[in-house]
Structure 1
Amino acid sequence: MTALTAARDLFTTSFGREPEGVWSAPGRVNLIGEHTDYNEGFVLPFAIQHRTYAAVAFNGTGDIRVESTFADSQVVAHLDELDGIFPTAPGEAPGVPEWSAYVLGVAWALRALRPDAPLTGVDIAIASDVPIGAGLSSSAAIEGAVASALNDLWELGLDPVTLAQVGRKAENEAVGAPTGIMDQMSSMLGRPDAATFIDCRSLEAKSVPTGFRDAGLEVLVIDTQVTHAHSTGGYRERRESCERGAQLLGIRSLRDASVSDLPRAAEIMDDVTFRRVRHIVTENQRVLATVAALTEQGPRAIGDLLVASHASMRDDFEISVAELDTAVDAALENGAIGARMTGGGFGGAAIALVAHADLPRVSDAVEQAFADAGFTAPHIFTVSPSEGPRRDA
């Protein structure tokens, strides 16, 4: 059963009628540019073919009723009560089950944006084929699907970038996860065969053709099966270190620091803060270099940049884990052009850029390396740059 069918069937079973429509939004893989988004820097993600689906219809009440294939119970909240549920205090759990906070948080953020709009209650059923906890932004896919559905049904007329901002507000303030806007922008602006270069300060974005297909390359995702959660402490600590580093440098954000600032940073910062800063500064440069390489030389020229990004996340930002390092090392040793962990870290997935003919060898080698290390077997699959939100039914 497809996730589209699962969402529609769940709606019919739960609410006793057909939905008025089904909307979907994609997950994403970040090609390069990790933890730079909340530092107002540069990122280069692409939307993937895996999507989250929201079957939705008006219910004639003031309630939002939410069901999901990955939860047993229905969550109900009145539209007028959302301001009493959200925002979620930093470090605290949401006042509703976390999975539903992504959905209800979008409704709350839309009401805050358009307080005079006459919004009415809806029933929502969610299903997804985006792997959860793998660093592929299953959360932004939920936010994008729900925001797109409510934007249409409530006739709000909001553009994709505004809906991305709505998703970020839901994730930051309703769920309590201190993430940047990369995931939502990537999901909302996805294009087939292209990555999205995003300036996270101005929110300017442009599509950058990847050329993977013409070059005979595949992006292999290696889901380590080590789950992570952005709302837990490690992510928050990294963000606080970046804010501290910017303050010590006397700048608004680390976007305003350059490689030439690193010697001074080393003198005025403790070792940990300096290494966090060094990752962000050099990662921004790697994103710009990757865009240039794709544009001027083609995708086979980005391998070393991916490898350098992983080393920086492993050593300076310290967000990799043994499973991610094993995946990257095994892929590179067996012919991958480049490889790196992707996503927020502390688990999740790695990606490897691999020639199509080498996929079996690289996949087998990674599986063997995991078995030799005594790790849980990874989930390995390919992804391709795909389109953003759409109405499917």
Structure 2
Amino acid sequence: MKDEVVKNLAAVFHREFGYKPGFTARAPGRVNLIGEHTDYNGCPVLPMALEQCFTAVFAPRPAGAGNGSRVSVVNTDSRFPGLTFIAENPVPPYETGSWGNYVKAGVQTILSYGAAAGKDCQAGCGFEAVITSSLPAAAGLSSSSALVVLSGLMAMASLGLSVPKDTLAKLFADGERYVGTQGGGMDQAVCMLSEAGKALKIEFNPFSAEPVNMPRGYSVVVMDSTVKAEKTRAAMDRYNIRTIECRLGTAVLKAAFSRRYGREVKLGLLGDMTSQNLGIPEEEIIPFAVDALSDSAYSLSGAAALLGTGTGRLAEEYCRRRDGSVLPEPPGGFKLMQRVLHVLTEWKRVEDSVSFLSAGDAAGFGVLMNGSHESCRRLFEISCPELDTLIALALEEGALGARLTGAGFGGCAVALVMDGDLPAFLSAVGRRYYGEYLKRTDGNVSRFLFICRPGRGAGTSVL
């Protein structure tokens, strides 16, 4: 099947560009099993790469073809028009929301890496490519990050560069901020570093990656709510507000700790809230955070007063978008306590999940999945009615655990199901959610509801 995909892409490449491609590349999507919105807070996550992926055939710009820094990409999905741009440093972005910005982000990442290493990469960074994807777009399965990685790998191969995979994971995490989101590094790390058949526990403070066995006799089922997580500026702002709230919450906690304990501590991320760093017992950390933060929303001026700074200065430091504009204060204020409490409890759920999975305790892991979704829904407020309905139905139909996965505000849910229950589970969820709840009449839900296996990480190879 994979060979057939590459063969078909190569035929399209020859038709579009008039010669044969020399390389193939793939970059998988991912499903986050547990650990939502923890990565950019310096806390661990537990995702797994999918077998579903972006696949490309490509070639560096041919000798004598003129501009060796020109990039041309054809997408087999007609919803995404072809792209041609010059790989100059910096690469000017398309308008916000364009799929081409994810291609440009990968190229820009490699150009920036080259410049930092004292190499002029512009002249040979160009390539021509045809790409396709078996990942649903805007479904919370990290198709966007997979596309950034794919593009960057093609640029790197065109230049003949060799960069360690763990270094690339960090580079692509920083590079994706080109599109305007302030994420962490989970998506890029799992895309680059995964092993087939295993989940991956990723630590960010400091960075490390540890393969984790999945329990035998159980499968992960991805369930697409069909509510699309848009890539518009308004959608990015909803995501970025959560990162701002976490950073502001961390700053307020640092000030509160100093007042209570009479000493300064290094507290730049919520992931710094360890017993070793704070010098207090682990069981006191969450109660301290809950006591130190108000359950009422904070205004920017209120947070500024607590931190002893001006409102304008605080907005400049915490609320600036990539384009230089300042994200406005949300109408309901900043919910610092709720966001912090989600991250700290989700961190513990990740650690407990690794223990349960390593022991083969699928039921225990399922309980943690359910707790994670409730926290995402109630404290982090990133769920939606469709996701809540889908997850409730999955649990009614026998899933051991189910939760939203990805950034939220739509996209997919993930469920853990006993292998023997899979046929009945898929049939019932397909009928009850897609048929009765969404009132779809086509009957074919396989693109929305599917079993996924832990896949391998991204890479390129010679055709």
Report if TM-score (shorter chain) is over 0.5.
Answer: yes
Residues in 2 aligned to 1:68 and 1:301: alpha-carbon distance in whole angstroms: 42
* Correspondence for 1:58: 60
Corresponding residue SS for 1:42 = coil
Cα distance per residue 1:299-320 (max 9 Å; x no partner): 3430100000000001111111
- How far the C-alpha of 1:84 sits from its partner, in A, is 5.1
- How far the C-alpha of 1:269 sits from its partner, in A, is 6.0
Check conservation: 2:104, 2:151, Cα contact below 8 A. Answer: no
Corresponding residue SS for 2:223 = strand
Check conservation: 1:3, 1:129, Cα contact below 8 A. Answer: no
Task: Go from structure 1 to structure 2 and tell me whether the alpha carbon gap of 1:284 and 1:376 turns closer, same or farther (over 3 Å shift).
Answer: farther
* Correspondence for 2:228: 227
Residues in 1 aligned to 2:345 and 2:36: alpha-carbon distance in whole angstroms: 11
Q: Does 1:255 align with 2:260?
A: no
Q: Does 1:387 align with 2:434?
A: no
* Correspondence for 1:192: 196
Identity %: 32
Residues in 2 aligned to 1:235 and 1:194: alpha-carbon distance in whole angstroms: 29
Corresponding residue SS for 2:162 = coil
- How far the C-alpha of 1:68 sits from its partner, in A, is 1.4
Q: Does 1:11 align with 2:13?
A: yes
For residue 437 of structure 2, the aligned residue among 366, 373, 381 is 373
1:1-393 equivalences under 5 Å are 3-59=5-61, 60=65, 61=67, 62-70=69-77, 71=79, 73-80=81-88, 82-83=89-90, 85-86=92-93, 94-95=94-95, 98-115=98-115, 116-118=119-121, 119-120=123-124, 121-173=126-178, 175-211=179-215, 215-229=216-230, 232=235, 233-250=237-254, 251-257=267-273, 258-267=285-294, 270=297, 272-370=335-433, 371-374=435-438, 379-391=448-460, 393=463
Check conservation: 1:210, 1:298, Cα contact below 8 A. Answer: no
Residues in 2 aligned to 1:31 and 1:335: alpha-carbon distance in whole angstroms: 18
Residues in 2 aligned to 1:79 and 1:313: alpha-carbon distance in whole angstroms: 39
Q: Which moves more between the two structures, 382-391 or 52-61?
A: 52-61
Structure 2: unaligned runs, 5 residues or longer? 255-266, 274-284, 299-334
Letter of the 2:90 partner, please give it. D
Task: Go from structure 1 to structure 2 and tell me whether the alpha carbon gap of 1:372 and 1:74 turns closer, same or farther (over 3 Å shift).
Answer: closer
Task: Go from structure 1 to structure 2 and tell me whether the alpha carbon gap of 1:55 and 1:315 turns closer, same or farther (over 3 Å shift).
Answer: same
Residues in 1 aligned to 2:136 and 2:60: alpha-carbon distance in whole angstroms: 29
Check conservation: 2:295, 2:338, Cα contact below 8 A. Answer: no
Residues in 2 aligned to 1:374 and 1:145: alpha-carbon distance in whole angstroms: 34
Cα distance per residue 1:110-130 (max 9 Å; x no partner): 111112144412112221111
- How far the C-alpha of 1:95 sits from its partner, in A, is 4.2
Letter of the 2:347 partner, please give it. N
- How far the C-alpha of 1:270 sits from its partner, in A, is 3.0
Residues in 2 aligned to 1:103 and 1:97: alpha-carbon distance in whole angstroms: 12
Q: Which moves more between the two structures, 63-72 or 195-204?
A: 63-72
- How far the C-alpha of 1:331 sits from its partner, in A, is 1.1
- How far the C-alpha of 1:98 sits from its partner, in A, is 2.0
Corresponding residue SS for 2:90 = helix
Letter of the 1:165 partner, please give it. K
Letter of the 1:36 partner, please give it. T
Task: Go from structure 1 to structure 2 and tell me whether the alpha carbon gap of 1:293 and 1:243 turns closer, same or farther (over 3 Å shift).
Answer: same
Residues in 2 aligned to 1:49 and 1:134: alpha-carbon distance in whole angstroms: 16
Residues in 1 aligned to 2:244 and 2:440: alpha-carbon distance in whole angstroms: 32
Letter of the 2:357 partner, please give it. L
Letter of the 1:30 partner, please give it. N
Residues in 1 aligned to 2:72 and 2:392: alpha-carbon distance in whole angstroms: 46
Task: Go from structure 1 to structure 2 and tell me whether the alpha carbon gap of 1:98 and 1:6 turns closer, same or farther (over 3 Å shift).
Answer: farther
Residues in 2 aligned to 1:281 and 1:3: alpha-carbon distance in whole angstroms: 43
Q: Considering only aligned residues, what root-mean-square deviation do their CA atoms show, in Å?
A: 2.2
Check conservation: 1:26, 1:187, Cα contact below 8 A. Answer: yes
Letter of the 1:156 partner, please give it. L
* Correspondence for 1:90: none
Corresponding residue SS for 1:136 = coil
- How far the C-alpha of 1:132 sits from its partner, in A, is 0.9
Check conservation: 2:253, 2:289, Cα contact below 8 A. Answer: no
TM-score, scaled relative to structure 2: 0.77
Check conservation: 1:23, 1:146, Cα contact below 8 A. Answer: no
Task: Go from structure 1 to structure 2 and tell me whether the alpha carbon gap of 1:6 and 1:142 turns closer, same or farther (over 3 Å shift).
Answer: farther
Compare CA radii of gyration and give the structure with the larger one. Answer: 2
Residues in 2 aligned to 1:176 and 1:335: alpha-carbon distance in whole angstroms: 39
Corresponding residue SS for 1:278 = helix
Residues in 2 aligned to 1:299 and 1:246: alpha-carbon distance in whole angstroms: 33
Check conservation: 2:80, 2:99, Cα contact below 8 A. Answer: no
Residues in 2 aligned to 1:131 and 1:200: alpha-carbon distance in whole angstroms: 28
* Correspondence for 2:262: none
Letter of the 2:48 partner, please give it. F
Check conservation: 1:326, 1:369, Cα contact below 8 A. Answer: no
Check conservation: 2:109, 2:152, Cα contact below 8 A. Answer: no
- How far the C-alpha of 1:140 sits from its partner, in A, is 1.8
- How far the C-alpha of 1:375 sits from its partner, in A, is 5.5
Check conservation: 2:49, 2:457, Cα contact below 8 A. Answer: yes
Cα distance per residue 1:210-229 (max 9 Å; x no partner): 13xxx211111101111103
Cα distance per residue 1:313-353 (max 9 Å; x no partner): 01111111111111111111121111111111011111110
Residues in 2 aligned to 1:29 and 1:247: alpha-carbon distance in whole angstroms: 31
Q: Which moves more between the two structures, 113-122 or 340-349?
A: 113-122
Letter of the 1:372 partner, please give it. E
Check conservation: 1:53, 1:142, Cα contact below 8 A. Answer: no
